[in-house]
Amino acid sequence: MEIVYIKASESLMKSLHFVSCPMASPQKNFATWGLLFIAGVIFLSVGILAFIDPLSSYVKLTKFAGIGLLLNGGLLLAMIIVRPMRPRERNWLQAESILHLFFGILFLLNPLLAFIALPYFIGSWLFLVGLLKMMAAVSLRLRISGWAWVLLIGLIFTVFGLLLLFSPFAHATGITLLIGGFGVVMGGLYIIDSFRYRHMEDTMDMML
């Protein structure tokens, strides 16, 4: 009887292990695609608010852009520490997190200068992050399955960054509307991609 009981217990433990293993994957995936979805909602909200009230949005962007960039940089660093990933992916994400933190500190250290030179601050950030994403996508094209979409997102960042740096719009309203357009485009893409690539964590890591 004891032998039968032991074998039954072993069979039960194996069954529980078999059931519990598949459940780990969705929970692990949710952390990444959920963050991408939240980022998309934030981008989209900023874009819509910019179109509704451009002047007020210009002031709010100056106030909260630095905090947002610091949070983004900190989030990427936390992902690098917590999540297992290949060294090359980790290096690209570390470089991007340093860019976010650098521009976030610039915004917070001199808010008056940030208000006056907002298009140059945000334009430089968008351009450099976009360039970094495109370089990462090309470098990791044999390692991540959705590298072409990472390349597209980097291209969008770069184009909007150049438009802000060399913008024909000299007034705050035009600049805010351009930033709003970027928010709507990126927000929509992030929300769609969060569901499309919810089982491809390496792809979503590079999108954030």
The per-residue DSSP string of 80-142 comes to HHHS---HHHHHHHHHHHHHHHHHHHHHHH-HHHHHHTHHHHHHHHHHHHHHHHHHHHHHTTT
| Interval 194-207: pLDDT, tens | 887 776 765 656 66
CB atoms within 10 A of CB 81: 8
Give the pLDDT score at 201: 63
Residue 17 has pLDDT above 50, yes or no: no
| Interval 85-97: pLDDT, tens | 777 778 888 888 8
| Interval 89-142: pLDDT, tens | 788 888 888 999 999 998 888 888 888 888 889 999 999 999 999 998 898 888
Q: How confident is the model at residue 7 (pLDDT cuts 50, 70, 90)?
A: very low
What are the sequence ranges of the domains in the chain? 31-207
Q: Is 96 exposed, middle or buried (0-12, 13-18, 19+ CB in 10 A)?
A: buried
Spatial contact of 158 and 182, defined as CB atoms under 8 Å apart: no
Spatial contact of 141 and 88, defined as CB atoms under 8 Å apart: no
Distance CA 183, CA 176 (A): 10
Which CATH number does the domain 31-207 belong to among 2.60.40, 3.40.50, 3.30.70, 1.25.40? 1.25.40
> CA of 94: how far to CAs of 66, 157, 206, in Å?
18, 18, 11
| Interval 165-196: pLDDT, tens | 887 655 777 888 888 999 899 888 888 888 87
Give the pLDDT score at 98: 92
CB atoms within 10 A of CB 7: 10
Q: Which residues contact 158 (CB under 8 A, 6 or more apart)?
A: 126, 127, 130, 131, 134
The pTM of this model reads 0.76
